[in-house]
């Protein structure tokens, strides 16, 4: 869930309300393909509850995603087809925000656009740092401390409680009861 804290800590209450109003909650059963590699997607998603599996084009599992992960954001930002497929491991709930609605909001609201892209950038930077640390790159650079995949830096720690509260409010607003 920690990655959603980057997003919730940057977006404001009005941004989250817009997402709740313009997004659609989708409940999917275990085994449902949410994103298929090399096929267009018309939405970005936030995983509200459940677990997902990311697969390379060869079919190998490359990651597991939990509550708070964003999906489809890379294809949204760079307008290319997804490079991986994502399937639900459990019955899951997602907030789907259409590309069309999101593009219209980004074009009409500069403040939202700045916050949204900053949040996506922070989210992707965290994902990249985690991937790099898992590849062992940091162990070859002795002067840098190894990153713990679940640590948040001090700058972000100030917003953690607030961001977690915002995510809980979004879940309640959408009527999502998280599973244990």
Residues 6+ apart with CB under 8 A from 67: 1, 4, 47, 48, 49, 50, 178
Residues 6+ apart with CB under 8 A from 152: 2, 5, 160
Beta bridge mates, 64? 53
User: pLDDT tens digit string along 78-131?
Assistant: 989 999 999 999 999 999 999 999 999 999 999 999 999 999 998 888 888 877
Q: Quick count: other Cβ atoms within 10 Å of Cβ 20?
A: 17
Cα distance between residue 23 and residue 132, in whole Å: 32
Domain range summary for the chain, segments of one domain joined by +: 2-174
| Mean pLDDT, each 10-residue run in order, the chain (180 residues) | 73 92 96 96 94 94 90 92 96 96 97 94 84 65 40 55 74 76
Beta bridge mates, 121? none
pLDDT for 148 equals 41
pTM to 2 decimals? 0.77
Share of the chain above pLDDT 70, in %: 81
Beta bridge mates, 45? 71, 96
Structure tokens at 179: 């599973």
Does domain 2-174 bear CATH number 2.30.30.90?
Answer: no
With tokens 């313009």, the residue in question is 22
């Amino acid at each position: 869930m920690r990655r959603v804290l980057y997003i919730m800590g940057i977006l404001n209450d009005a941004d989250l309300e817009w997402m709740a109003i313009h997004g659609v909650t989708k409940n999917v059963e275990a085994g449902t393909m949410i994103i298929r590699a090399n096929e267009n997607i018309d939405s970005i998603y936030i995983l509200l509850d459940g677990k997902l599996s990311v697969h390379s084009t060869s079919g190998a599992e490359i990651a597991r995603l939990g509550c708070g992960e964003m999906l489809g954001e890379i294809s949204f930002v760079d307008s290319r087809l997804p490079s991986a497929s994502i399937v639900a491991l459990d019955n899951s709930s997602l907030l789907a925000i259409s590309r069309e609605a999101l593009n219209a909001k980004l074009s009409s609201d500069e403040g939202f656009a700045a916050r949204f892209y900053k949040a996506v950038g922070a989210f992707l930077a965290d994902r990249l740092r985690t991937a790099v640390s898992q590849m062992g790159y940091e162990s070859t650079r002795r002067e840098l401390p190894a990153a713990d995949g679940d640590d948040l830096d001090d700058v972000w720690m100030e917003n953690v409680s607030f961001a977690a509260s915002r995510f809980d409010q979004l879940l309640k607003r959408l009527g999502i009861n998280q599973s244990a």
